[in-house]
């Protein structure tokens, strides 16, 4: 059993405590928290947790072997480096930093300390993502060449509080973009060679809040990532076009459809011309249903607590780290390039 502390006990810090306590009590005990504000301390005391009065006090506690950092983004670097230097294992919330250069300093500190350093890219354990990844990995519909991954919100000014400030590392690209980029980079085993971005600020004067990111991988796979907060007709979570079929995953629970051509069902050139209001088309004529097959979407068994089970496995010395800092560095380099693409108005040629 490892004892741990949480630094930053707001929404996400509280979520870590609750889920670790409910689902991982055989492996981890949240001993205490540190937060700069008194209110989270009062809440933590009410939950029977030790309330540290400073970060130094957390770092000086020899019982604490793991620290989870869940402060606003701009504080991650300083806290993570201090914790690693104090000989603690560290899990840091996403986005691990605001720019990739900061992460390089954190990675150097982790190497020097020899301690575990991981980033809480928890959406690798979301069911929609795992379903898409499992289907692609199985090869059943072949290689993907167009991937669309989007989260459509309709709550308007969602970049509230510190998320609305540049200084704090606010904005949608760093908040949700980091998840969607991490997912596709985890799935597509090829370097990113081009990054484009349209980062719009519809509600938030300082930061981006409705965004599109365009990635091209060296293997030619082309990806569109979209995040909105003002979309009242939600689109499917994923739409993936592969060499031998199409997959649409509608929601977070992985519901959707996979459709492919029946073997030997190529249509004749003269079949089924469609006449739109203004002209004929063969190319875009819908395929007769008898020429396609629907493949069942697999039921994927996925459990977020495997994230921390892996952390404990690494601390025990019998597992390989799943979410590694070098992967986060690639993601942060893509984010740097996306900001540069918005600033310059030009897609960035990269090799990430």
Ligand X SMILES: NC(=O)c1ccc[n+]([C@@H]2O[C@H](COP(=O)([O-])OP(=O)(O)OC[C@H]3O[C@@H](n4cnc5c(N)ncnc54)[C@H](O)[C@@H]3O)[C@@H](O)[C@H]2O)c1
Q: Which residues bind ligand X (CB under 6 A)?
A: 7-13, 34-37, 40, 70-73, 75, 93-94, 120, 122, 161-162, 175
Minimum Å gap between C-beta 318 and ligand X is 26
102 neighbors 73 (Cβ within 8 angstroms): no
Q: Which pair of structure tokens corresponds to residue 56?
A: 């130094």
Nearest alpha carbon to residue 308 among 22, 52, 75, 74: 22
181 neighbors 257 (Cβ within 8 angstroms): no
Q: Measure CA of the first residue to CA of the last residue in the chain; give whole Å.
A: 38
Nearer to ligand X, 327 or 348 (CB): 327
DSSP, res 242: E
Minimum Å gap between C-beta 82 and ligand X is 10
Strand partners, 152: 228
Distance CA 242, CA 307 (A): 29
Nearer to ligand X, 57 or 250 (CB): 57
Distance CA 223, CA 216 (A): 6
Q: Which pair of structure tokens corresponds to residue 12?
A: 């996400």
CA 276 vs CA 175, 281, 283: distances in Å: 42, 8, 12
Minimum Å gap between C-beta 317 and ligand X is 26
Minimum Å gap between C-beta 123 and ligand X is 7
Nearer to ligand X, 122 or 210 (CB): 122
Minimum Å gap between C-beta 55 and ligand X is 6
Nearer to ligand X, 140 or 206 (CB): 206
Minimum Å gap between C-beta 299 and ligand X is 23
Nearer to ligand X, 10 or 144 (CB): 10
Minimum Å gap between C-beta 28 and ligand X is 17
Nearer to ligand X, 70 or 227 (CB): 70
Q: What is the largest CA-CA distance in the chain?
A: 78
CA 97 vs CA 19, 81, 90, 266: distances in Å: 24, 12, 14, 50
CA 50 vs CA 31, 35, 57, 58, 67: distances in Å: 6, 12, 11, 10, 14
Minimum Å gap between C-beta 10 and ligand X is 2
104 neighbors 49 (Cβ within 8 angstroms): no
Distance CA 256, CA 235 (A): 12
CA 114 vs CA 62, 107, 111, 315: distances in Å: 17, 10, 5, 11
CA–chain centroid gap for 147, Å, is 15
Nearer to ligand X, 12 or 341 (CB): 12
Nearer to ligand X, 35 or 342 (CB): 35
Minimum Å gap between C-beta 73 and ligand X is 5
Nearer to ligand X, 98 or 350 (CB): 98
> 344 exposed, middle or buried (CB, 10 Å; 0-12, 13-18, 19+)?
exposed
């Amino acid at each position: 059993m490892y004892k741990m502390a949480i630094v930053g006990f707001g929404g996400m810090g509280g979520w870590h405590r609750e889920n670790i306590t409910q689902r991982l009590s055989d492996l981890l005990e949240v001993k205490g928290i540190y937060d700069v504000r008194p209110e989270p301390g009062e809440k933590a005391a009410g939950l029977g947790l030790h309330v540290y009065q400073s970060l130094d006090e957390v770092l000086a506690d020899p019982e604490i072997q793991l620290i989870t950092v869940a402060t606003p983004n701009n504080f991650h670097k300083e806290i993570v480096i201090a914790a690693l230097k104090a000989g603690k294992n560290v899990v840091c919330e996403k986005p691990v930093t605001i720019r990739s250069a900061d992460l390089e300093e954190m990675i150097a500190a982790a190497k020097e300390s020899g301690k575990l350093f991981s980033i809480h890219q928890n959406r690798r354990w979301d069911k929609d993502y795992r379903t898409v990844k499992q289907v692609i990995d199985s090869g059943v519909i072949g290689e993907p060449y167009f991937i669309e991954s989007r989260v459509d919100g309709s709550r308007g000014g969602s970049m509230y509080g510190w998320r609305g400030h540049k200084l704090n590392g606010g904005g949608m690209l760093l908040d949700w973009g980091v998840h969607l980029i991490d997912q596709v980079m985890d799935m597509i085993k090829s370097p990113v060679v081009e990054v484009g971005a349209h980062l719009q600020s519809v509600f938030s004067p300082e930061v981006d809040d409705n965004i599109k990111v365009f990635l091209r991988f060296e293997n030619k796979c082309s990806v569109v990532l979209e995040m909105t907060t003002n979309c009242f007709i939600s689109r499917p979570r994923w739409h993936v076009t592969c060499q031998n079929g199409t997959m649409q995953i509608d929601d977070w629970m992985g519901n959707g459809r996979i459709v492919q051509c029946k073997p030997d069902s190529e249509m004749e050139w003269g079949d089924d011309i469609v006449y739109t209001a203004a002209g004929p088309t063969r190319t875009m004529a819908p395929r007769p249903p008898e020429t396609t097959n629907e493949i069942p979407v697999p039921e994927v068994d996925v459990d977020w607590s495997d994230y921390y089970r892996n952390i404990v496995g690494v601390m025990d010395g019998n597992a390989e780290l799943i979410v590694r800092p070098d992967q986060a560095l690639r993601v942060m380099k893509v984010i740097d390039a996306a900001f540069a693409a918005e600033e310059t108005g030009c897609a960035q040629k990269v090799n990430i």
